[in-house]
Structure 1
Amino acid sequence: MLDHKMSDPKKRFETIVQSLRTNHHKITPQRLAIVKILAKSTGHPRVEDIYGQLKQDFPTMSLATVYRNIVLIKSLGEVLELGFPDGSNRYDGNKPYPHPHLICIKCKKIIDPKLDSLDDMKNEVANETHFKILSHRLDFFGICSDCLAKEK
């Protein structure tokens, strides 16, 4: 079962902006535009994807500026970074807490499956290892239905 339920992007936008204000960071038009994209987080965008969406409206903004803003927002706990060995990090500002991901190895699409047993799994690992689990990451890799259809 897929978890199509996103947090309300408008509420996430307001939450991230409030977090920036609370932590005494300037609210610039460029920063607001980055936050708006992160609050939606459609497809778990890369920094380059976010930059591509913004460069027409902000032609003087650099890729480094986008990256610095994402790092700042991540430091506030308002965006989840998904790192990959090839360096193609992806970002989720809509659901900035640990949750499972399903990743297509062909088109790199990322979706959020609903996994009701995740809490049970986390508790089982904690009980077995006597660890206090602070965070977790669970990724499933496969080929999405769109890519499978193209193969036929």
Structure 2
Amino acid sequence: MSNIQSRLDEILTKLRQRDFRITPQRIAILKIFLQSQDHPGIEQVYEEVKVNFPTTSLATVYKTVSLLKDIGEILEIGFTDGGKRYDGNKPYPHPHLICTQCKKISDPQVNLPDQMTTEIANASGFRIDSHQVTFFGVCPSCQKK
């Protein structure tokens, strides 16, 4: 929990330095992203925030997500169907495993993207600023069904 609190404090400091308002709703949204291992979507975050802040609008969640993306504190994961989910625990490029059946998103602990990024940059001459590597398949839970 202390890691979550220290990261929350860092993000709040970053927001204050840029003169963004710190509201209870914004803090609640931040906490949901920092505590979630599920890579939540905006609708899921909205439903969770409404429990304690029933007057919070969906627009507030969208604006906060946009702000957090802009300052590099959450990572957006896009789906081919246009849906989006967010990673607030690791807001930097890293691979994701997505189950095509239950839509669960996992973070494997591998260094492949770093090695691959270097190799691609060397072979192509590109200066790679960011990347996103996503693997699709069926998770162990769905395989057992």
SS at 2:97's partner residue? strand
Task: After superposing the two structures, state which structure 1 stretch, 120-129 or 78-87, moved more.
Answer: 78-87
Q: 2-side partners of 1:39 and 1:12: how far apart?
A: 8
Q: Percent identity?
A: 52
Aligned residue for 1:64? 59
| Alignment RMSD | 1.4
**Mapped partners of 1:146, 1:121: distance in 2:** 29
In 1: Cα distance, 2:130 partner to 2:74 partner: 14
Note the alpha carbon deviations across 1:5-59, whole angstroms, 9 max, x for none: xx93222211211111111111100000001111223211000110111112111
Q: Which has the higher contact order (CA 8 A, sep 6+)?
A: 1
Q: How many residues align?
A: 144
Match of 2:69 in 1: 74
Q: If the length of structure 2 is used for normalisation, what is the TM-score?
A: 0.94
TM-score by length of 1: 0.90
Runs of 4+ in 1 over 4 A off after TM superposition: none
Q: What letter corresponds to residue 71 of structure 1 in structure 2?
A: S
Mean Cα deviation higher: 35-44 or 7-16? 7-16
Give ranges in structure 1 of 5+ residues lacking alignment.
1-6
- Runs of 5+ in structure 2 lacking a partner? none
1:11 aligns with 2:6: yes
Shift of 1:121: 1.1
Rounded to whole Å, the distance in 1 between the matches of 2:91 and 2:6 is 13
